[in-house]
Structure 1
C-alpha cells in the first residue's frame, strides 16, 4: 500500500475507503463533501468527458488560488503543457478503465519562480446516474525532504501573481490496487 506523506492525503484515502460501495468503488451519491470540510480547500473533482476534455467539477480554494482563479467547468488539460496532454489524459482514463488509485508527486512552478512540491492522490468513484466517470483528487503541498512537511503559507508572497501556477511537472506517478489491479500505463 502507499505510504502517504501528508496527513490530509491519508485522511482523504480513509474517507474514500469508508464510503458505501457499488462493486469495488463508492458511488457518486455517497460522496458528501460537507463530511470532510478540512479537506475541501485542497480537493479537486474531475469529470472525464473525452480524451481531450477533462472537466473540473469542483476545485478547492487553495488549489483555485494557485491555478489563478475559478476553474470550475473548465478543461483541466488546458493547464497541461501541450506535449504532456495525451499522457495526462491517458493517466486519468487509466484510473477509470481499470479502477485504481493514483499517487503522484508533482513539482508546480509558480510565477515567482518558487517550486511547490505537491502530493496528489486520486481515487475514482462510480457514477451510476449514467454520467461520465469521476475522479476525486486531494492535492497537498509537501516539503522536498520526505520527513519535513510544509504548512501552506501564501502570506510570504506580497504579489498575488507570484503565487500563480506557471507549469506542472510529474516527478513520480504510481498506481495502486483498489481490487481490480493496476493499469499498464507508463508516463
Structure 2
C-alpha cells in the first residue's frame, strides 16, 4: 500500500454501524498521527492520542488492553455496555493462558497477532453473559503504540448482532467464548 493512498473500509466490511464508526475513528487517528509527523511512511497511533471522550456514542462498548508479557494482557478499560449486557466487569484483571476458559487462547492469539503484525481484525464471535445468554457479536480491533512507538495496546469495540440463546449449564469468566471468524485488516503499517 502506498503512503499517500487513502484507506477506505467498504461499508460491507462491518455489519454493525458501531464497529464501522470505530474503525473510521481509528483511521482518523492514524491520519492525524501521519500529519503530526510528516516524512515517515507509516504511523501507528499512540495510546495517548486515543481519546474515548471523542467518541461518546461508542465509549460504552470499548475495551482497552495492554500487553504486559508476551502471553498476557491487562484489561485497562471495559465499557459500561458490557455490565448492562450482564457481562462480568474484568477491568484491572490480567488475561493470560487458562485452559479452563475455552476461548481464552483464541483471544490471546488474536491480540498478539494484532500487535506483532501489526494489523486490525474484524472478528465475529460468541459472547456469553453471566446468566448464560449467548449473543453473536462483531468486534473491530486495532493496535495502539506506547509513547516509544512500540505496539503495546489493543483497543476494541464489541457490538451485539443477535441473541443466539441460553446455555445455563456452563458459565465462563471470559465474555468472548468463541471466535467464529477473523478477518485481518491491512492498516498500511508494515
Q: Normalized against structure 2, the TM-score is what?
A: 0.73
8 Å contact from structure 1 (residues 25, 124) kept in 2: yes
RMSD: 2.9
Could you tell me which residue of structure 2 aligns to residue 104 of structure 1? Answer: 123
Q: Matches of 1:135 and 1:177 in 2, distance apart?
A: 15
1:67 matched residue in structure 2: 87
Question: Map of 1:15-164 to 2, 5 A cutoff?
Answer: 15-19=25-29, 20-21=32-33, 23-65=42-84, 66-69=86-89, 71-77=90-96, 81-82=100-101, 84-129=103-148, 133-143=152-162
Superposed displacement of residue 86, structure 1: 3.5
Question: Residue 47 of structure 1 contacts residue 132 of structure 1 at CA under 8 Å; is this kept in 2?
Answer: no
Q: Which moved more, 1:31-40 or 1:102-111?
A: 102-111
Unaligned runs of 5+ in 1: 146-161, 182-187
User: Take 1:29 and 1:142, find their aligned partners in 2: how far apart are those partners?
Assistant: 30
Shift of 1:88: 2.5
Contiguous gaps of at least 5 residues in structure 2: 1-8, 35-41, 165-170
Q: Provide the TM-score with structure 1 as the length reference.
A: 0.74
Whole-angstrom distance in 2 between the partners of 1:131 and 1:25: 9
In structure 1, C-alpha distance between the alignment counterparts of 2:175 and 2:77, rounded to whole Å: 21
- Equivalent of residue 170 in structure 1, options 179, 182, 187: 179
Taking structure 1 as reference, are residues 129 and 178 closer, same or farther at Cα in structure 2, changes over 3 Å only?
same
What CA deviation, in whole Å up to 9, does each residue of 1:98-125 have, x standing for no partner?
1100111011234544321110110111
